Structure 1
C-alpha cells in the first residue's frame, strides 16, 4: 500500500502559525506570572541560575581533564582551580590599574560637575549649551555622585553579599558537575521506556545549546572588552581600561548593555578636546556593527543554530517577558525549541520521502 502523501502546505501552515503564536503568548504570560511570584526569592534564584551556568561552562574542561586523571572528582577540582587561577591572574594584572582609574574618575566627577554648572561658556562641537540645561545636568550628575559616595556602607555590604554569592555559585556548580550523571539517570528514569531515547536526545540538545551559548557569550564579552579598551587607548580616551572592562561586562546584557557602555565612554570623552567624542561614538558603533554582522553569526549563531533575525526577535520578546534575564536566556531557549522542532519534523520528512518514493515506483517508465 502506498504511503499517504502530505497535504499541500497552504492547508497546514496556518495551523502551525496559530499554535506557535499561542505558545509564545502562553510562555510570556507564564514568565510574567512567575516573575511576580518569585520576586521574594530572586537573589537565591540568581545564585542557582549562575551555578547552572558555571557548571555548563566547566563541563567541557572537566571532561577533558577526566580523560587524563580518570576520576571525575579530581577533574572537577582541577577545573575549578584552573578557573580561579585564571580569574586571580586577571585581577592581579588589572586590579591596580582599574582601582587607579576608578579613583581618578571619582575624583574628576566634581570637576566635571563644576565645569557644567559654572558661568563659563561650555560648548560641544562649537555649539554652546544653554546655562539652564547645564544647571539641570549638573544637579543630576551631582545627585547621582552623592548617592554613590553616601551609600558607601550599602556598597560595602553589597560587596560582602556578592562574595558570598560567588562562593555559593562555585559550590553549587561543583555539586552539579559531580552529580550530573546521577541527575541525568534520575530524570531519564521518569520517562517511559519507549520514549527514553527521545528524552536522552532532548537532554543532549539542552546541554549542548545552553553550554555552547554561554561559552559563546563569554567569548564575545572578552572580544568586545579588549577591542573597546584598545580602541579607546589608541584614541587617547581617559580611563580606557575601565571603559573596556565595563564594555565587556555590559556585553552580557542584550541590546541595552552595549548602548550603556558606549554612552558612558562618550560622556567621558565629552570633557576632552573636540572632536574626540565623535571618534569615540564612531568607534563604539563600528565595534557593535562588527559584532552584530561578523562575530555574532559566526560565534553565537553557529553555537545555538539560530539565525541573527530570529535571535534578535527572541531577545526582544525575552526582555518584554522577563526583563534583562529573559533577554539573556531567550536565544538558547529558541535554539532548544528549534532543535526540538527539527526532531518532531523528522517523521514528517520520512513520510514525505516514502511518499515520493512510492509515487516514483507507481509512475510507469517512459
Structure 2
C-alpha cells in the first residue's frame, strides 16, 4: 500500500472548504428554511415537470405539478393535523390524571431508592442521588420544552401561513427558472457539467431516501399502534419517524419504552412492537447500503460517522448538516477545482 501524498496545506485547505460548506448549509437550512424547503420541493418536482415539458411549455408544467403536490400535501396535512389536534386536546384533558399517576410512580420509585440507599455505602449513595436528580431535572426540562414548542407551533397560525406562502412561491420560481438559476450558479464554480449533474443527483437521491425512511417508519409505527388501539398513535408515529434521523436513538426512542412496559403488562403487544422495531431498523441500512452507497459513492460508514459527529458537535442540526456537507464536499473533492 502506497502512502497518501497529501501536504499539510492541502489538508488545511480541505478543512477550510468543508467548514465553509457546513456554514453555508447551516445558514440556508436554519436561517432561510422556506427557500431550502423550496429547493427540496424542486428536486421532488423535477422529474414530473421534465416529463410534462415534453408536451407543453415549462411554465404550465410547473403549475400543474406544483398544484397536484399542494393538493396532496393539504389533504395529508388536514388528515394528520386533525388527528394530532384531537390527540393534543385529549392529552391536555387527561394530563392531570397522567400527572398524578406519574407522581405516584415517582414517589414509589423514590421510596424504593431510599430503601436501596440505606444498604449501600454513603459515597455511592450520594453519587447515585446526584445523578438521579440530574436525570429527573433533564427529563422535566425536555418534556417542558417539547410541550412549549408543540403549543407555540400549533397556535402560531400567521407565522405558519407566511412560512407556507414563501415556500410555495419560492418553489414556483425556482422550478420555473431552474435552468437560468443553475446556469448562473454554475458559472461561479469551476465544475464540469458532469460534476454539476452528479451533485444535484446526489442531493436528490439522499433527500428521497431520507424521506422514504421517515415515511416508512411513521407508517409502520402509526398503523401498528392504531391497530393495537394505543392512545396518541399519530403523535407517537410522527415522533418515531423524526427520531429515525438521529443515530443511536432512532425509532427505539419511542418503541423501546412501549416494548419494556408491555413486556410485563401484555407480552403479545411487546412481541408485535419488537417485530415492527426490527423491520424499521433493518430498512435504513438496506437502503443506505444498496442505494446511497452505490448511487452517491459515499460509504454508509462515512455517512454514519458524519451523523454521529454532527450529533455530538451540533445536536439535531448536525444530523441534518453532516450528510449534506459530506455529499457536497465529496463532489468538490473529485472535481478538478484544486482540492
Classify 1:303/1:122 alpha carbon distance in 2 versus 1 (closer, same or farther; 3 Å): farther
Task: Return the alpha-carbon distance in structure 1 between the equivalents of residues 29 and 75 of structure 2.
Answer: 31
How far did residue 265 of structure 1 move? 4.7
Q: Who is 2:183 aligned against? A: 185
Which residue number corresponds to residue 117 of structure 1? 103
2:91 to 89, 94, 105: 105
Tell me, yes or no, if structure 1 residue 66 matches structure 2 residue 53. Answer: yes
Tell me the equivalent position of 2:278.
Answer: 286
Structure 1 segments unaligned to the other structure (5+ residues): 1-8, 345-366
Q: Compare 110-119 and 18-27 and name the one that shifted more.
A: 18-27
Q: Partners of 1:181 and 1:140 in 2: how far apart?
A: 49
Deviates more, 1:201-210 or 1:151-160: 151-160
Residues 310, 319 of structure 2: 8 Å contact kept: yes
- Tell me which residue corresponds to 2:64: 78
Offset from partner CA, 1:45-99 (integer Å, 9 cap, x none):
222222222222222221122223x211111111111111111222344444333
2:33 paired residue among 41, 46, 52? 46
How many residue pairs align between the two structures? 319
- Highest CA radius of gyration, 1 or 2? 1
Q: Report the CA distance shift for 1:255/1:136 in structure 2 as closer, same or farther (over 3 A).
A: closer
* Paired residues for 1:1-366 under 5 Å: 10=2, 13-16=3-6, 21-23=11-13, 25-27=15-17, 29-30=19-20, 44-68=31-55, 70-118=56-104, 130=113, 154-155=152-153, 158-189=156-187, 198-251=191-244, 253-255=245-247, 258-259=249-250, 261-266=251-256, 274-275=264-265, 279=271, 282-283=274-275, 285-319=277-311, 322-342=314-334
Partners of 1:209 and 1:335 within 8 A in 2: yes
How many Å separate the matches in 2 of 1:150 and 1:333? 31
Summarize deviations over 1:323-364 as a string: whole Å, max 9, x none: 4344324324433444455555xxxxxxxxxxxxxxxxxxxx
Shift of 1:280: 7.7
Contact preservation (8 Å) 1:254, 1:327: yes
**Greater Cα shift, 26-35 or 334-343:** 26-35
Deviation at 1:177, TM superposition (A): 1.1
